[in-house]
Structure 1
């Protein structure tokens, strides 16, 4: 009995050690892809994320923020900034959605605070009023229908199965009129893991 317990304990310890990353950090059991740690990447700027999504940030935009998460399944890039109401309308006209802008019939209260929460913002799916959303596909031919796989625009929020699988890179865009004369733009895109050339992480400050 004692020997059996020791064997089981040793197996559990070995399993726990396999969850340790190269830098002694827990990686939740997810494997590293080409030596890149899973998690939020360092050195991500709004300008880099804008170029990666192929969507411009207007020169008049305020409070631009961006982040990029690496996972073993797919990568997620997010970008957000604010515009005046008229600037936002001009921006949305420059980047129209595939199909039409949609408005939620209800807010999603069960959305995990993860993506934009990383930037200290609520998730755009949790809004019901003053928000519209759709897929913006830079460089793609204009389509007459939304690329939403479910094809049911009457749902509160049409959500893809984790990431967009349509041809070409499409970006999920939300425009939230959070103040009488201000609109916040939320952009979220998913990318195949391991193909993105991420910015070099800034060097850590030397001690002393």
Structure 2
């Protein structure tokens, strides 16, 4: 009888130790899961705040179309209407925006000297969804992003000297050009450039 009781006692102790270990492991796992969830929520909140800040922050108020055209090195057609410009600074790179509307014939005359011989503007085969925005895009100027258009849209990157023309050699920045014929005979030109060097601030009005 006594031997039997002596054998039961250690088993109970070992079983109790295993239960305590299992409970401890469960508590540890729960705490780890809770900590991960808290970090995830904080990360999402921080990302949202940074995105909102990046979208609204650091746009220069005095960036005129004339100043931005001079910085980029583009000669805007005299007949261009609805001229708009933006200049955004950030810790990584600055962004310049310039856009205007011309007749489609004038748009062709503007684009032709900027495109290398034998090359052409490309259609938008991979459009963004309607309503797409970006923190350094044309939404800031009250316009839809050109990447959302397919009908009547053509685009191409251009850099200094790509074409052997005075217009191409005058470029001060590499830029993305979008040309959108939004109605027959009328085209809006969009120019977007990332700026890594310091070009200074636009002059006060």
Extract structure 1 runs of 4+ deviating beyond 3 A. 97-100
Aligned to 1:175: 179
Selected match of 1:184 from 181, 188, 196: 188
1:119 aligns with 2:141: yes
- Higher normalized helix content (fraction of residues): 2
CA 141–117 in structure 1, closer or farther in 2 if over 3 Å, else same: closer
Q: 1 CA distance for matches of 2:200 and 2:174?
A: 19
CA 106–141 in structure 1, closer or farther in 2 if over 3 Å, else same: closer
CA 107–56 in structure 1, closer or farther in 2 if over 3 Å, else same: same
TM-score scaled by structure 1?
0.62
TM-score scaled by structure 2?
0.63
- Tell me the alpha carbon deviations over residues 73-110 of structure 1, each in whole angstroms, 9 at most, x when there is no partner: 11000000000111111111122259531112242117
Equivalent residues of 1:49, 1:79 under 8 A apart = yes
Equivalent residues of 1:97, 1:135 under 8 A apart = no
**SS of alignment partner, residue 123 of structure 2:** coil
Considering only CA atoms, is the larger Rg found in Structure 1 or Structure 2? 2
Q: 2 CA distance for matches of 1:28 and 1:125?
A: 23
Deviates more, 1:107-116 or 1:173-182: 107-116
Q: 2 CA distance for matches of 1:97 and 1:179?
A: 27
1:54, CA displacement in angstroms?
Answer: 0.5
Equivalent residues of 1:67, 1:79 under 8 A apart = yes
Equivalent residues of 1:131, 1:174 under 8 A apart = yes
Q: How many residues align?
A: 142
